[in-house]
A and B are shown apart, each in its own frame.
Chain A
């Protein structure tokens, strides 16, 4: 039973390029969450998705960032025209359902470096 799979593990982009981060949830999980972790800081919620729906995107920057979770395939976090300040670790978590009794499992993260 594979855990939450994120790829790539490391991603280097030049300023102005696009970054695509992928997340495959655990088998049987239909809820996906993206978090960002800046160096020496805690994780900040970005977006919560269910299959084909964005449930809560209150933590997403208004520009350049978008997320999707299609009916088939992994969830994608897309960052357009990356800037140095986007350098961070991006973690995906998945859960079987919603609500406080439902444990969220995290992936190993994608470490984005913008040069």
Chain B
């Protein structure tokens, strides 16, 4: 019940296209859903996060869509650029701590 399932495992997108990464969870106590971006040899960096009281959040080219009833959330990267090529992790946490449960990651390659 603590798992966060992420798909796809890898994704190839043409420059200017839309990258879509999906995550699903089981634990209804989760109330914070961040997305992290990680480049090789670096630590994860927070991209964008959402709470379950909203269905969508947009920051620049990055949008989170959240479906509480389906227990799913997704990351959309609009106008994808080669510099977006990285591994993306979804995560979830609950309660009074920041103990994050991470998905298994999606390796995104944006081709020029």
Asked if B46 and A56 sit within 8 Å, CB to CB, the answer is no
Selected contact of B97 from candidates A42, A43, A48, A109, CB within 8 Å: A48
Asked if A99 and B98 sit within 8 Å, CB to CB, the answer is yes
Question: What separation, in Å, do the CA atoms of A88 and B105 have in the docked complex?
Answer: 16
Asked if A98 and B104 sit within 8 Å, CB to CB, the answer is no
When C-beta atoms are compared, the residue in chain B nearest to A47 turns out to be B99
Chain B residues, Cβ within 8 Å of A98: 96-98
Contact with B along A41-77 (1 / 0, CB 8 A): 1111100100000011000000000000000000000
Selected contact of A42 from candidates B31, B34, B43, B105, CB within 8 Å: B105
> A90: shortest Cβ distance to chain B, in Å?
11
Asked if A95 and B43 sit within 8 Å, CB to CB, the answer is no
Chain B residues, Cβ within 8 Å of A109: 42-43
> A98: shortest Cβ distance to chain B, in Å?
6
Chain A residues, Cβ within 8 Å of B45: 106
A: number of interface residues (CB 8 Å)? 27
Asked if B97 and A55 sit within 8 Å, CB to CB, the answer is yes
B: number of interface residues (CB 8 Å)? 26
Selected contact of A100 from candidates B32, B44, B46, B101, CB within 8 Å: B32
Is B102 an interface residue, CB under 8 A from the partner? yes
> A72: shortest Cβ distance to chain B, in Å?
23
Is A1 an interface residue, CB under 8 A from the partner? no
Within 8 A of A (CB), among B20-41: 31-32, 34, 36, 41
Contact with A along B95-112 (1 / 0, CB 8 A): 011111111110000000
Chain B residues, Cβ within 8 Å of A35: 100, 102
Question: What separation, in Å, do the CA atoms of A99 and B98 have in the docked complex?
Answer: 6
Chain A residues, Cβ within 8 Å of B89: 42-43
Question: What separation, in Å, do the CA atoms of A98 and B101 have in the docked complex?
Answer: 15
Closest 6 CB pairs of A and B: A100-B32, A106-B43, A42-B102, A43-B102, A42-B104, A108-B43
12 contacting pairs across A/B (C-beta < 8 A): A4-B43, A41-B105, A42-B6, A42-B103, A42-B105, A45-B99, A48-B99, A99-B97, A99-B98, A100-B31, A108-B43, A109-B42
